[in-house]
Structure 1
Amino acid sequence: MNAMTETATTRPVTRQTFDDVLVPTYAPAAMVPVRASGLDLWDQSGKHYLDFTSGIAVSSLGHCNPKLVSALTEQLNKVWHLGNGYTNEPVLRLALALTEATFADRAFFCNSGAEANEGALKLARKYAHEKFGPHKSRIISCLSSFHGRTLFTVSVGGQPKYTEGFEPLPPAIDHIRYNDIESARAAITDDVAAVIVEPIQGEGGVIPGDTAFLKALRELCDQTGALLVFDEVQSGVGRTGALYAYMQHGVTPDILTSAKALGNGYPIGAMLTTNEIAQHFGVGSHGTTYGGNPLAATVALNVIETINQPEFLARVKEASARIMANLDKLGADYPTVFGKARGAGLLIGLPLADAYKGRAKDFTKAAEALGLMLLIAGTDVIRMAPALIVSDEQIAEADRLLRQAVETIVNAA
């Protein structure tokens, strides 16, 4: 290992440095972003990009949001970290804001969506064991779901490609088909401790949950004594046009997990639940060193305060309608390239038609070359998750650049 020198913080680095010194768990883009503001981003060469990814549905108030920068800077000069032997004012205010805005009575804070789901699943098992006995421990999830990368949460996620090589996996985890009520009825029996579901599947292809399916899960959980866990890591904090997507379905979970947009890029996760369930996590039963630290809590509190306003959420729906209209026209113009766009709010998936299946990454790379950053959701779906503050002008520009990218690929075929 090289000794630290006075140039360590300023030495030149490139995309090649990633290949040289980082564990190769990612295959990042060739360009290296260095500066951003709102939905605008610039790389090392000074090239400008329109960011329609918001860091995978994270930076929902845009990069370097002035209100968040100001709030964080103020807290930086007060106190950063205390450890869980102490509480702090920002986390108490955040807990009040979240419980007042949702079904929940209690909040637990951590650092990521995976940790929030890990906590939710541990709590569900503990609740079931203490209330019914250890026989009630099975967890039901959906095929093509995604709940995190810990061994527990990746096993609960219904995508075998993420568990290969990590066996043996935690037992008593089964998967049902998403939006399939009969599949749910067959699986959710008296030995089930928890059913975990995304109200809209993100990584699985941007597939909205049917209200009838989510209501059926609620009813089956009520009948069997299982807890219903909504994973709103990607769908929460305004992304679908409501503070949390459960509010749009009229289905109230027992536990809800939140992360991503909650900190607008500052790492924070939250698990929300009721008084009755929360009491099964007593002192020492679960914890985290950094969770609920004053810096993360300060940012999250300002995020919630900004997004949880009727006019803000109405604008999300308006922007969504504009993008959907553009994508419908794009699909009509290129019927052999695209299927029907789908999603909720500003979490949108554009599936590829049969002739272009497996080529989602080709489209995002072509768009990036033109200055538009997009995501994929699997190999067959282009995903858009722009900041919730996206303007009509930026929506029009994204449409123009995407069309250029499509023409590039179609003409090369």
Structure 2
Amino acid sequence: MLVSAFTLGFLTVSTTTSASANGNCIDSLHEFRADLCLSAPEPILGLFGTWRNVDITFEGENLDLSRVTMNIGFYPAGYTGGVALGLESDPWPYPGWSEAYSPYYEETSNSGINYGAIRPTRGSTPAPDGTNNTYMLVRADNESQWEIIYNFNYITSTESMPETETRNARSIFRVPNPTATTVAPIDNRLQYMGGNLYWTRFDMDSIELVNSHPTCDSPDAQDDVCMNSTLSSNGGEPPLLVSWELEKPGGASSTTLESTDQPPTSSPRQIDRGNIVNGVDQGELASCLENSSESCLQDVQGLAECITQHDICNTLPEYNTQAPQEPFVSSNQEVLSGAEIEERLHTRFEFTDTPLTTNLTNIQDYEQEFNVSIPDAWSSNSPLWVVSTNGIVTDTEGRSYQGLRAAFDASTGQAVHYCTGSFC
């Protein structure tokens, strides 16, 4: 699938939409979340989102079910399931509560879930550095499945999405434990690829934004359960979406959300231009990612063509998913116990009288035994705990399936891969 250039500029004028009466945009209003539902006048062949890593902090006693997610995805009409790609942040229990960050993808159907982490988790030390990360879903050549692309590197493809065109996409921000969670401002810049194979922006008139709780400037807002959620357009005719700006303040909330689309405050990197990998100048790519990640496909020569070939396009150390990396967070133990891993699993699934089998293995053996591909960001000999059951499991969104197999990094407790139901 050809991935071509962006077509529009970046003048922004703030605008806000209120919750729509169309309840189809959001699956559940009982939880703290915001859904941005996006429609195009033609079949969508690609979806692009980019935002900076920001501070997400957790405070309190009971933080087991506090995982924050921000993603982009497709959920075809008439199909129970879809595909999502994004970032999740967990409170981390080893050795004490702190934060951990991990990009992930998830494919769901009415009969199962297939989840994969993309790289070893980043911890709160060092703190999130404000780097941009990019998330892309692009139609595969077979025109039914979706290619999952993170920071311009191909990761994998979906397996069982229906053979149907879609003109609708979605971006979701979910905070299951709002009274214990603070999320710094996120500026999600979204685009889509249409039939002409050019990336463009969504028309503001074709966007539906639903916030489950009041914005923080509302008269009835409560400080610990309000969010800031606004849209910005380019101010043109018709106005086109530039970004979705989000924030979950702490107890002393501000009613003003400031844009986070600013380069990191640390010293600028020394750009090493001329290092060409598969036709992509890594120095140019580094500069683009730091300053204008939504325009890299246009501005960095050879990048679009590299993605099309499934080559390694981004070898920058902080972005590379193609070489083994050390996690930024550790348990201070060589290997966690099986009991500790089962505790981590309980933050994702509920079990009712379901016996669990827990075994220690490694990445290479897990891949070979179950015909699963784990990103090369993990070494082949990295230890894994594998927990499995044939019983009924229910995830945190209330979906129940028969059977589960979950693989966790044995040194950090990070969920590396899991499947339920038919995906196993």
Question: What TM-score do the two structures reach when normalised by structure 2?
Answer: 0.26
Question: What TM-score do the two structures reach when normalised by structure 1?
Answer: 0.26
| Structure number with larger C-alpha Rg | 1
